[in-house]
Amino acid sequence: MDLKELKHLPGAWKRGTDFLGTRYAILCGAMTWVSEADLVSAISNEGGFGVLAAGNMPPEVLAAEIAKTREKTKHPFGVNLITVAPSFKQHIEVVIREKCRFVFFAGSIPSGRDIAEVKAAGAKLVCFAPVLTLAKRLIKQGVDALVIEGNEAGGHIGPVATSVLAQEFLLNITEIPVFVAGGIGTGEIIAQYLSLGAAGVQLGTRFVAAEECAAHPRFKEAFIRAAARDAMPTSQFDPSLPTIPVRAIQNEGTKDFNRLQLALLNKVKTGEMPREEAQVKLEEFWVGALRRAVQEGDVEHGSLMAGQSVAFVKRIQPVREILEELVTGAEAALSRRA
């Protein structure tokens, strides 16, 4: 779509596009094993903003992925670092050495030192904020933008819905851009959040079925077949073993996780295993199961992490077409309002 044809969107998300340096204030969320150079560069080339998922990559692999992405696009993109990843500190060194323009922190609350280190290198830093008090603190520490993600999202999720977070954050934070994520699948809902004051939005699930996405065909097909109610969060069996809910399309892998959680819970309660070790093993389960599903196509016992916006994944489409649908829908909705 020619940007000149848009009458309402350019003004509605100007803060987001100015911040990102893109045509559209639409970010592709960092999905481990999915958001790699091919998909990220395709999204950035078509006017959106791709974000590389560092996940648990060895530092040298992350550096190579950044270089590969730069070969494929001259447009802005970000690199998402998981604060609880074993190589997090080395990942910071990589993005600084590679002079990455945009860095995202996800996972646990980042330290002031980590924030200052990335900022001092000249990068724009974007952080996820689950509660308003933390958001205010991050702003004081110099974070440049925030992403708020509701529990309709795929993967590890918090307890609050996107619609509630949007009201809470967008009506109270004006100092820096705020991007909304979780359950977004259409341009019409993008328009709603922009009208509330969002600088832009972040999607992940819809881009899984992009032609340019390197995920296994069986992984994509599982998304196409799924309904919103199929993407359900896992449950915590007992507070003795705290677990972060993970939203995924239910399959045998979900049952595998539940059996593992029960076995580890028994070991924790009998003193056979420390709680922290059990929590690590639960996270290792998701890392391995997701890789098997995305790369090997094991859609039975692998993890099919997906948001409830999987309801809007209907077919394999090129990135350009997905973005055009979202942009056209948002523009039409804003036009009707005007």
Structure token pair of residue 184: 């977004």
Distance separating alpha carbons of residues 49 and 273, to the nearest angstrom: 43
Distances (CA, A) of 63 to 90, 98, 291: 11, 7, 20
Distance separating alpha carbons of residues 135 and 154, to the nearest angstrom: 22
Distance separating alpha carbons of residues 227 and 291, to the nearest angstrom: 22
Distance separating alpha carbons of residues 10 and 76, to the nearest angstrom: 18
Distance separating alpha carbons of residues 171 and 324, to the nearest angstrom: 29
H/E segment holding residue 280 = helix 275-296
Cβ-count burial 271-304 (b if 16+ within 10 Å, e if not): eebeeeebbeebbebbeebbbbbbeebbbeebbb
CB of 209 within 8 A of CB of 316? yes
Distance separating alpha carbons of residues 157 and 306, to the nearest angstrom: 11
Structure token pair of residue 189: 């809902």
pLDDT tens sequence for the chain (338 residues): 555 689 999 999 999 999 999 999 999 999 999 999 999 999 999 999 999 999 999 999 999 999 999 999 999 999 999 998 999 999 999 999 999 999 999 998 899 999 999 999 999 999 999 999 999 999 999 999 999 999 999 999 999 999 999 999 999 999 999 999 999 999 999 999 999 999 999 999 999 999 999 999 999 999 999 999 999 999 999 999 999 999 999 999 999 999 999 999 999 999 999 999 999 999 999 989 999 999 999 999 999 999 999 999 999 999 999 999 999 999 999 999 88
CB of 301 within 8 A of CB of 253? yes
pLDDT of residue 338: 85
- Domain ranges for the chain: 3-215+314-337, 227-296
pLDDT of residue 87: 94
Task: Provide the Cα torsion 134, 280, 297, 31; round to 10°.
Answer: 20
The residue type at 270: T
Q: Counting every residue, how long is the chain? A: 338
Give the largest CA-CA distance in the chain: 66
Q: Give the pTM.
A: 0.95
**Could you say which architecture CATH assigns to the domain 3-215+314-337?**
Alpha-Beta Barrel (3.20)
